Structure 1
Amino acid sequence: MKVVYERPKTLEKVVNHYCPGCHHGILHALIAEVLDEMNLADKAVAVAPVGCAVLAYNYLDIDWIEAPHGRAVAIATGIKLAHPDLLVFTYQGDGDAASIGLAETMYGAIRGMNVTTFMYNNAIYGMTGGQMAPTTLIGMKTTTSPYGRDPKREGYPVKMAETIALQGGTAFSARSSLYNPRAITDTKKYIRHAFELQMAKAGYTFLEVVGTCPTNWGMTPVEASEFAKNELAKFYQLGVLKDVEGSEQK
């Protein structure tokens, strides 16, 4: 049986600028598919900050606002309070949402804001030269941890999906990845569920997506996907951490 992929209407017809093997493009396509299937593109407003995530507005044909580094959830909060019937989401990297913007992200969950955050976790600062991020694994080498991350010196990696799940205003917190078809299917399911809960005014929804950065990791695309599967997803375990409409699990 021949399967033909139909490009989502909300996905712009532009040349992909991301490095070979980067998973950002897959995540863009999944968000576009869900927006089309739920007929929400005309009601969607997204916020992109600084870093590789900022260029998401080149790929999704919806309304966008660019935020200062780390402030995406704060701006999304303002949009949602002014226009509660809109679908509002942020598209952020791990350095943006879990370091520079940690307070803004946390207070989105603490206050139970009806917005959604997608956090792309590739354990590194991709656009600015491959520095150590809050999610960099123990022993992982970066430009600012050339001998490998040492918890006695740089502290421990932060697990955002678990942290967000602990907050009372969180309706949904999950972690997924994109390294194989099953993982991609799960990610799309989580995106849809996050949007459904937001439109039902259930509270803050958060999806951490474990992705790749082949260039700064110094790997081929295949090696990077294997690293995401065997190393990142081993430490950052995939699955639902909190769901107000279902059973909580790890």
Structure 2
Amino acid sequence: MRQEEIWDVEAAQRYDTPGTGMFAREVLGPAVDRLAGLAGGGPALEFAIGTGRVAVPLAERGVPVTGIELSPPMIAQLRTKADEASIPVITGDMASATAPGKYTLVYLVYNTISNLLTQAEQVACFHNAARHLLPGGRFVIELWVPELRKLPPGQQAMVFAARPGYIGLDTYDVLRQHVVSHHFSFDDSRQAGLFRSPHRYIWPAELDLMAQLAGFELEARHADWAGAEFTAESRSHVSVYRIPADHPDVA
């Protein structure tokens, strides 16, 4: 399925979970704090802005935020919280769409770069970020670390979460670095709901090479938004890349 088919009206309407999950204060607060600091008083551009989970509270902090988003239903959900004047959004692909102006910060959170399913598209995303940045600007990516060490030998599937009413299952294609996340939700009835999303996973070293190809330098990498040390056991990372002031994509 194409990404615009996955993030349809139904997905957009159930995406927001105020106060819980990815919208929990302890999850969202440190991300907004860190991004506000990295913006340095300048404007920010969010790739795949979605329903505004991060953009809305960041704008409330006084950071001017613009977004790029592929899914019109996700934008419509965002519009229930913020109008076009407060958070402008350009409809398009984060690997190629252009937003007006230049920014001190471009950011891409919650594993969303993996929604681009080829290495070429992911590299193009870095180049697109570079084109939007002011001299010395930063590109921030939040991304999970592939958990292939947990995949049993000879198996292609792994349960990553199991709790009452929910099971999460990933299936891997290690040749193409593809994973499909299957989210099963169920109650006491005999029926279960299924939401699937395909991704291309990226190792941190590969991500750094993509950044170098676009002219970025790795400035910092932590295990979370609060700045915990990134180690071999970290399940995710927040990577901050900076583009030199003399890079040809910035002006």
Into which bin does the TM-score normalised by the smaller protein fall? 0.3 to 0.5
Q: Which has the higher helix share?
A: 1
TM-score where L is the length of structure 2: 0.46
Q: Report which of the two structures shows the higher radius of gyration computed on alpha carbons.
A: 2
TM-score where L is the length of structure 1: 0.46
Q: Which has the higher strand share?
A: 2
Higher relative contact order, chain-length normalized (CA < 8 Å, sep 6+): 1
